[in-house]
Amino acid sequence: MRSIVLTKGVPDFSEGAVSFDEDGHLERGKTPTVMNPNDAFALEAALQTRVRHGGHVTGMSMGPPGYADVLQEAMESVYTDDSYLLSDRELAASDTWATSITLSAGLEKYQEEVGEIDLVFAGFKSADGETGQTGPQTAWAMEWSIVTHVIALEIDPDERRLRAKRLVEGDVDEIETVEAPLPCFVVTDPEFEPTYRKASHRLTHKQLRKETQKRAAEHEKHLTTWDHVDLNLDPDYIGLDGSPTIVSSVDPIPKAPSERDATMIDPDEDDMSDVLEEMQPFAAGAGTEAGE
């Protein structure tokens, strides 16, 4: 089974150094970036497929050169065999539509030059835009089936079909089982949990995790970069020019207080006893008395 995992870099809001240009566009090259947290579930689903059925897992992302670090994080934190970065200045300021067009071109080139794709995994939504549009729009561009909010999946390689359990409109109390032909897009829900019931699967998982961490240490050897020329993309249909979305305004990201009130104590027995006595009423929950 050959799988592609679409990954994205998102601003590391914890750093408090998010940069925007004068038009309100996020300057990703100047902003500390980490892998989108929801993409970890997509990577876990791809790894589960790799463990059970063998094959190959590729991480793919569109963004500035710094997104190579995001792909490296994907390789090290969960699993990929190699990485593909779609990157050049013509792709800058893409909205979800232009991003999807670029990613679909990357997938088509991958199929032409590397191998036929069975599954494309994508995260539920990004931590910055939170639209959840890129995965479905890319599936539409590829004219492939898509299953969203997936929390568990099985693959029948012989029948070339996917069977998945998914949350109905994201409702954790309502689950349905669906089937789809391969190739197929899978958008994992944050409730997705990989399962490895066989001992052989657990051993394979452990071995693959070791191998991917070794690869990540030399990530540049496993990274391929394609620009818009490689992808045969018209600049009028990608990047800012190809993005119908208009940013009307940007709200500043609130920062945590730089200083907090604190009471300094010496760590001796008497002072700690006072602290424990003061905190005891909260041990059973706010507003309750100790022992209740």
Helix (H) or strand (E) segment spanning residue 98: helix 96-113
Q: How far is CA 268 from the centre of its chain?
A: 46
Residue 214's SS3 state is helix
- How many other C-beta atoms are found inside a 10 Å radius of the C-beta of residue 175? 14
CA dist 133 and 245 (Å) reads: 13
Q: What is the pTM of this model?
A: 0.80
CA–CA gap between residue 95 and residue 240 (Å, rounded): 7
Tell me the pLDDT tens digit for each residue of 159-183.
999 999 999 976 677 999 999 999 9
In terms of C-beta density within 10 A (0-12 exposed, 13-18 middle, 19 or more buried), how is residue 290 classed? exposed
The answer for residues whose C-beta is within 8 angstroms of residue 25's C-beta and 6 or more apart is 93, 240, 247
Domains and CATH numbers, the chain: 2-237 (3.40.50.620)
pLDDT one digit per residue (tens) for the chain, 292 residues: 999 999 988 877 665 566 666 666 666 566 678 899 999 999 999 999 999 999 999 999 999 998 999 999 999 999 999 999 999 999 987 888 889 999 999 999 999 999 999 999 999 866 665 677 788 999 999 999 999 999 999 999 999 999 999 999 766 779 999 999 999 999 999 999 999 999 999 999 999 999 999 999 999 999 999 999 999 999 988 888 887 776 666 565 555 555 556 666 666 666 667 767 776 666 555 544 444 4
The residue type of 59 is: G
The three-state secondary structure class of 252 is coil
The CA distance from 35 to 37, in Å, is: 6
What DSSP string describes 137-201?
HHHHHHT-EEEEEEEEEEEETTTTEEEEEEEETTEEEEEEEEEEESSEEEEE-TT------SHHH
Distance CA(165)–CA(178), nearest Å, equals 6
The phi, psi pair for 209, rounded to 5°, reads -65, -40
Query: pLDDT, tens digit, for every residue of 41-70?
Result: 999 999 999 999 999 999 999 999 989 999
Report yes or no: 139 and 146 within 8 Å, Cβ to Cβ: yes
Q: Which among 102, 68, 89, 88 has a CA at the least distance from the CA of 231?
A: 102
Angle at the Cα of 211 from the Cα atoms of 208 and 217, rounded to 5 degrees? 140
